[in-house]
Structure formats: structure tokens, C-alpha cells
């Protein structure tokens, strides 16, 4: 899942981005509406987290522009503007959720997760293929009934492969969905995570399709 965070406070922005990354999200952090507009032009996001009071205007301006262009990407307004009129106006302009500062990160993460799920095709919370079981709600992986310990990035990669089980997933797609824009598409970050997963999963689960990408035999059920 890829999230754009628009927050001009350096410390708060870094805290939000770091917290979401620790949960396995790919996060792009920007501080102005202009930078956010550029990001949504070149990247596909599963959710936007937007401040309102920014150096170059109101974050709702971006939401209005996106809705006017037909985009339905979920947007959560994260702001100190807390009056009923502020919240009602935010929803009227196309926001999907509204969280007032100060906030608990656990609540923000839960709301982001709920919004991201809106962009997914309906699927069961637990994906299975062969002896592999991925619980997307609890972030747990089991192989032949044995609970495995994996990192957030490993889980994100495996989840996408399981969602697409039976189909080849390219390195470019994995980087697009599981890493932020700081990732170098020519680096070996994908290969490194795949290698870690293979060591932890044991017997061959993830196949390499030379010149195309990676595959989990499926489909997942």
C-alpha cells in the first residue's frame, strides 16, 4: 500500500511517515500542495493524508482538484481546524475522513488502513496458497501451520504476491506498491527482500520468472 502524506511540520511529518512505514506502508512525504500535486500526477496512491493549513494554501484545494478530475483516491484530512463547519466543509469538498490534531497514531493508522481497503477488490482477510497462509488483518504469516516472523517490508511484498497469486508480478510493480519514491528502481532492494522471504518460508514458494518478475503458484483462496 502506498500513502502520500502532506504535512509541513518537519517533526510531525517524519513521525507520521516513520510510523506508517513501520507498519509496511510505502510513504511519500511532502510539505506543500505543489509537491503533493506533482506526486499524485506521477504516482498511484491508496490513500492521502493531508494537512489543511500549508505554506501555499489549504490542503482541501488538492482534494477539490482531484475530485474535479474524477479521482476517487481516499483522502484523510489531518488538521487542527476542528470546528463543525471545518469538518462539514471538508466532507463537502470531497474528503473521506477527518482527524483532528492532536491525535493518537494508533487511530490514524486504523483510519488509513480502513481507507486503503476501499481501493482494493473484495477479498478474504486470510489468503492461502498451498501451505502458505497470510492474515492481512493481523499481519501474520504461517507456513504449514507454523507462525513466521517477518519484517514490515517483507510482509508488504508477500501480501502483494499472494493477492496476485497465479500471476507474475514485476519488480516495477513491487517497487510501485511497496516502496516510496526514494527507492532506486535500478537497485536490488526487491531481490534482497525476496531472498529474505525465501529463507524464512523454507521450501520453494516464490518462483522467479526470468525477465518478467516473481510468482506464487496459485491462485490464493
- The cell for 45 is 496512491
φ, ψ (nearest 5 deg) of residue 182? -80, -15
77-81, 142-146, 185-189, 211-215: segment of lowest average pLDDT: 185-189
Annotated domain spans of the chain: 2-118, 126-216
Q: Quick check: pTM over 0.75?
A: no
Please list, residue by residue across 135-174, b when 16 or more beta carbons sit within 10 angstroms of its beta carbon and e when fewer do: bbeeeebebeeeebebeebbbbbbbbbbbbbeebbebeeb
Do domains 2-118 and 126-216 share one topology? The answer is no
- Identify which of 95, 99, 60, 94 has the alpha carbon closest to the alpha carbon of residue 82: 99
- The cell for 58 is 489549504
Has domain 126-216 been given CATH number 1.10.10.10?
A: yes
Query: For residue 62, what pLDDT band results from cuts at 50, 70 and 90?
Result: very high
pLDDT(177) > 90: no
- The predicted pLDDT at position 94 comes to 94
Q: Which of 32-36, 78-82, 175-179 has the highest mean pLDDT?
A: 32-36
Query: For residue 64, what pLDDT band results from cuts at 50, 70 and 90?
Result: very high
Work out the average pLDDT over 186-193. 82
- The predicted pLDDT at position 39 comes to 93
pLDDT(190) > 70: yes
Work out the average pLDDT over 173-202. 82
Instruction: Report the CATH superfamily, name and number, of domain 2-118.
Output: Response regulator (3.40.50.2300)
pLDDT(221) > 60: no
- Count of Cβ atoms closer than 10 Å to residue 21 Cβ: 18
* pLDDT tens-digit readout, 10-46: 999 999 999 999 888 989 999 999 999 999 998 889 9
pLDDT(152) > 60: yes
Specify whether the backbone of 94 is left (phi greater than 0), alpha (psi in -120 to 50) or beta: left
Work out the average pLDDT over 7-11. 95
* pLDDT tens-digit readout, 201-220: 887 788 888 888 998 876 55
- The predicted pLDDT at position 175 comes to 87
Residue 199 buriedness (CB in 10 A; 0-12 / 13-18 / 19+): exposed
- The cell for 90 is 471538508
Concatenating the DSSP letter of every residue in 135-156 gives ETTTTEEEETTEEE---HHHHH
Amino acid at each position: 500500500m502506498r500513502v502520500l502524506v502532506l504535512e509541513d511540520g518537519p517533526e510531525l511529518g517524519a513521525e507520521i511517515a516513520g510510523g506508517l512505514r513501520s507498519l509496511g506502508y510505502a510513504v511519500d512525504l511532502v510539505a506543500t500542495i505543489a509537491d503533493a500535486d506533482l506526486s499524485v500526477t506521477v504516482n498511484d496512491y491508496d490513500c492521502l493524508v493531508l494537512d489543511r493549513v500549508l505554506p501555499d494554501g489549504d490542503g482541501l484545494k488538492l482534494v477539490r482538484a482531484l475530485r474535479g478530475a474524477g479521482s476517487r483516491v481516499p483522502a484523510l484530512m489531518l488538521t487542527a481546524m476542528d470546528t463543525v463547519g471545518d469538518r462539514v466543509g471538508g466532507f463537502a469538498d470531497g474528503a473521506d475522513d477527518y482527524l483532528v490534531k492532536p491525535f493518537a497514531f494508533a487511530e490514524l493508522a486504523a483510519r488509513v488502513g480502513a481507507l486503503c481497503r476501499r481501493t482494493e477488490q473484495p477479498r478474504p482477510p486470510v489468503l492461502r496458497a498451498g501451505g502458505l497462509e497470510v492474515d492481512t488483518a493481523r499481519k501474520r504469516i504461517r507456513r504449514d501451520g507454523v507462525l513466521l516472523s517477518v519484517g514490515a517490508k517483507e510482509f508488504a511484498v508477500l501480501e502483494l504476491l499472494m493477492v496476485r497469486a497465479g500471476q507474475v508480478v514485476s519488480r516495477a510493480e513491487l517497487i510501485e506498491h511497496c516502496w516510496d519514491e526514494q527507492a532506486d528502481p535500478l537497485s536490488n532492494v526487491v531481490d534482497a527482500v525476496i531472498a529474505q522471504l525465501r529463507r524464512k518460508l523454507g521450501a520453494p514458494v516464490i518462483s522467479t520468472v526470468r525477465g518478467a518478475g516473481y510468482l506464487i503458484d496459485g491462485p490464493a483462496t
